[in-house]
């Protein structure tokens, strides 16, 4: 992982969360997840003003291998969607932690962040899954 990931939190569904300002967060999928998916060809994100709920589906991501659910790592209201992914979903493969982010959310329960994994915990979690 890179320096870009040191301040991220992770869900066990392989989404990452970056705290922005106030109760705003940016969400994407981890480098591990994009590698497992392979070449990403389509992303269905929630729309601005949609409400998402932690641990529930918030959209789908399609690769040449499969269609997978995207799970919300936190609850809240979608305030921004990365529209660039409509035309260039492969950006997630190329740069999952910066240009390949999915959505920004105003979180409704900041306490949910405490249930997410830090970088070291996430590394341990994915290495357990590979054994």
Which domains does the chain show, CATH number per domain? Answer: 3-109 (2.40.50.100)
* Strands (E) located in 6-125: 9-10, 15-19, 24-29, 40-44, 51-52, 57-63, 67-71, 76-81, 103-107
Q: State the CB neighbour count (10 A cutoff) for residue 33.
A: 21
Q: What is the pLDDT along the chain (131 residues), one digit of tens a residue?
A: 445 677 899 999 999 999 999 999 999 999 999 999 999 999 999 999 999 999 999 999 999 999 999 999 999 999 999 999 999 999 999 999 999 999 999 999 999 999 999 999 999 999 987 65
Note the pTM of the prediction, 2 decimals. 0.94
């Amino acid at each position: 992982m890179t320096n870009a990931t040191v301040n991220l939190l992770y869900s066990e569904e392989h989404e990452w969360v970056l705290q922005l300002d106030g109760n705003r967060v940016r969400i994407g999928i981890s480098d591990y997840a994009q590698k497992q998916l392979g070449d990403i060809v389509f992303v269905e994100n929630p729309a601005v003003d949609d409400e998402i709920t932690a641990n529930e589906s918030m959209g789908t991501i399609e690769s040449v291998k499969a269609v997978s659910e995207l799970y919300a790592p936190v609850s809240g209201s979608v305030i921004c969607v990365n529209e660039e992914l409509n035309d260039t979903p492969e950006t997630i493969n190329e740069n999952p932690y910066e240009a390949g982010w999915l959505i920004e959310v105003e979180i409704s329960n900041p306490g949910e962040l405490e249930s997410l994994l830090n970088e070291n915990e996430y590394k341990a979690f994915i290495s357990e899954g590979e054994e």
